[in-house]
Each structure stands twice: as structure tokens, then as C-alpha cells.
Amino acid sequence: MTDVYGRADMDTLSSQGDRYFLYYFRDRVDLQEDYLDNERQMARIKKVMSLSPRIDSIVVYAYSSPEGTPRRNNFLARERAEVARQFILANLPNDSVLLPENIILRPMGENWDGLKKELQDNYHLMNRDRVLKILDADINTETKKWRLKNLDNGFTWKWIIQHHMPKLRIATWVCVFVPTPELSADSTFADNQHLETIQPQDSVVPADTIDAMKLFPATKHHTFPVFALKTNMLYDAALVPNLGVEFYLGKQWSIAANWHYAWWNNNTWFWRTYGGELDVRKWLGSAAKERPLTGHHLGIYGQVLTYDFMIGDHGFMSGNAGEHAFIKPSYAFGIEYGYSLPIAKRLNIDFVLGVGYQGGVYNEYYHMDDHYVWHATKKRHFIGPTKAEISLVWLLGPVNKKGGSK
């Protein structure tokens, strides 16, 4: 019923069902219509859905290419299967009999069988025999990966990733349905005749007729950036409105910027401050690999701000008396550690503590007889905690879900 590619016999398919393939960018789970053969495949899927509301069930097999860690790749295969399911459901006609529970997901993890077949057919560099010997060796897949990475100072592995692995990041499935006149001229099949189930071990790589590099470069990405909006709830509790944005740069690095502004006052108290901060972070651990901007992180930060705080008759104001506050603002820089905890599909709480140096000039003054009387100008030199954050983080972009979507 199936060949080594996992494709059902074409004569059977023409009468009973068909195979479809969706392709995914490296380390991504969202679908892009202009990537590889997706435009044609999506059109085929939409057509068969519209012409045949009698589809009974669908089995989806999803794969990841072997670069990266097995844990990450198993996660990608699961998520790609789910994205394929959602694409099917979104294109069902109103009179379809297909139930969501009859779309069965079979995430297969790393597509090593597909890689072997792809390289046997299409890899023709001078070290071809050495590469195929590694793939044929009776060793575990992580050892094979290590050996491939160390061939020719890494050139071979980079070549395979760019030229061959895009074909391995797929979701593929078989539709099981009763043929209709629009789809097949053969009316001899009974209504209860289904396509034979394709076993997981038979499903590997799609047809090798697609030239990945001609259709779309493997390194090009047409996806929305992963980023987050956030607010520090400690500032909010202190009546200091604030807003931050953080951009994921890839390879578990991010950059963040924050701004706060408060201007509350009357005759007996002042509560004024405004300023900003810039952070560069490195995300660590398994949670960060499964979902950007999640889990442990280390970083460096810099702050600049001005303030004027007075409660009762005693106040402190940054800068020199009589000058604009930002001529000599307060500033700080240091290192930080934090942990961003998922609490909902697109919400995290980020706990951060920073230690560093704070400096700047400030004025001490008193409120006496309806006048503000300068008392002293001082310089601040402080080493210790200079940052505390409990932020509510709203994750945005196509690859964020609670539990590890990317």
C-alpha cells in the first residue's frame, strides 16, 4: 500500500484518497503559503474539502528535521500536527461530516528515515560515501548527528541543513472518504470503503521532485516577530504607570526597553518620576527552548531617570537645583537574573532582581511657610540592588502558547 516515502499506491489513491504535504520553516510551527510547495498543497486541500463534504477521517503525520535537540524536535512535530489540524478545520464546508475528533494526530519526531532517503537521492558532494556510512551506522541518532556536525569543520552539516532539511519539516496526511463524482469517475466503491491505514513506520519524506533551494531559500523567513508587551506591577502599585516591550532576537537572546512616567502632586506632596531602561537578556533552560521569552534568563541593564519625591515637608529631587532634571539625571547599570512563568496561553509573570551601581546628583529640600527651601546637594554612590520587577507579560507573535509553542 505504501512505498519507502510513505506514499500510498497511486492507483489506490486516485480512487480512494490522496496524500497532502505542508512544509514548515526551521524551528517554526506556523504555516506560510509562499514557502516551498505550500501554495499548491494548500489549494489542493481547500479544493478537496470543498468538493467532498463526505470525508470521514484524516490521519496526520508530522515531522521535524534532525537539527536541534530531540526534545525540541518532538515538540515541533506535535505542534505542527496541531497546526495542520487547525488548517483542515478552518477549511471544512458547512455540510462536512468530518468531526474534529476524527482528525487523528501522529507526531513522529525527527525524520531520520527521510533524511537518509533524501541524501541517498540528492546528496552528491565528494564526501557522500562518508555521510551515508554515518547514516547507516548502528549507533544512536545523537551520535550520528555529532559525527555529521564534525565532518569538514562543520561545512557538511551546514550544507545539509540549508539544502536538504527543508523537505523534512512536514505534516502529511491521508483523507479517508467516500468518492464523489467531482473527485473520481470510479463509482464502484461502496460507501463504507476506506483507504487502508498507513502505519507510522511507512511515513517519512515527501516526493523528492521538489527543489527546495529553487522554490525558496532555506534561510529566508516570512513570519511575524516574536515580542511581548509588559508592565511592572511593582511600579503600578506605586502609582507609576509604565510600559515595556521585549523583542526575541533568536538563539535565545532578547532586547527589552521600558519607560515610566508619573506626575502626581499637590501642596503637601510630590510624586514625580520619569525615565527608561534598556536590557539585553540570554534565556536559559528547557522552557526557553520550547517557548521564547519564558523560563530563566540572565542579562545586563542600564537605567536613566529623574524624580521629585516629597511626603510631608521633606523632599528629594534629582539633578542640580534650578536646572532641568535631565541635565544630571540619576542612572544605574548592572546584572540581572529572572524567571518568566507562564500563567495562561499568552501571559507570563516575569520575576527579576538586578544588582549594580547607582549614581547621580540629587537635592534635599524642605517645604516651609509655603516655600520650598533648598537644604543640600549630594552625590549618590550606591552598590547593591537597583532593580526589582514583577511584570505581567503579554506574549505576541505566531509562536507563543502556554506549554511550549513557538
CATH number of the domain to which 207 belongs: 3.30.1330.60
Residues 231 and 186 reside in one and the same domain: no
In the listed set 173, 190, 215, which residue is the last one of a domain according to the structure?
Answer: 215
User: How distant, in Å, are the alpha carbons of 160, 200, 257, 391 from that of 227?
Assistant: 30, 36, 12, 15
pLDDT in tens, 216-272: 333 333 345 688 999 999 999 988 999 999 999 888 899 999 999 988 887 677 888
Q: Considering the domain boundaries, does residue 321 fall inside one?
A: yes
Element (H, E) at 137: none
Q: Considering the domain boundaries, does residue 156 fall inside one?
A: no
Residues 24 and 173 reside in one and the same domain: yes
CB 321 within 8 A of CB 377: yes
CB 132 within 8 A of CB 117: no
Q: Considering the domain boundaries, does residue 152 fall inside one?
A: no
Q: What is the pTM of this model?
A: 0.46
User: How distant, in Å, are the alpha carbons of 35, 224, 226, 227, 229 from that of 397?
Assistant: 18, 6, 5, 6, 11
CB 41 within 8 A of CB 238: no
CB 306 within 8 A of CB 273: yes
Residues 266 and 191 reside in one and the same domain: no
In the listed set 155, 190, 215, which residue is the last one of a domain according to the structure?
Answer: 215
Q: Considering the domain boundaries, does residue 129 fall inside one?
A: no
Residue 134 has pLDDT above 80, yes or no: yes
pLDDT in tens, 155-195: 899 899 888 888 888 887 655 544 444 444 333 323 333 32
- If 0-12 CB within 10 Å is exposed, 13-18 middle and 19+ buried, where does residue 18 land? middle
Residues 358 and 322 reside in one and the same domain: yes
In the listed set 215, 239, 256, which residue is the last one of a domain according to the structure?
Answer: 215
Residues 173 and 270 reside in one and the same domain: no
pLDDT in tens, 62-73: 999 988 888 898
Question: How many residues are listed for the chain in this entry?
Answer: 406
Q: Considering the domain boundaries, does residue 318 fall inside one?
A: yes
Q: What is the tally of structural domains in the chain?
A: 2
Residues 189 and 250 reside in one and the same domain: no
Range with the largest mean pLDDT of 7-16, 17-26, 293-302, 361-370? 293-302
Residues 233 and 351 reside in one and the same domain: yes
Q: What is the 8-class DSSP label of residue 139?
A: S
How far is residue 394's CA from residue 406's CA, in Å, rounded to a whole number? 15
Q: Considering the domain boundaries, does residue 32 fall inside one?
A: yes
Residue 383's domain spans which residues?
Answer: 227-396
Segments in 3-111 forming alpha helices (H): 10-16, 38-51, 70-90
> What's the CATH code of the domain at 324?
2.40.160
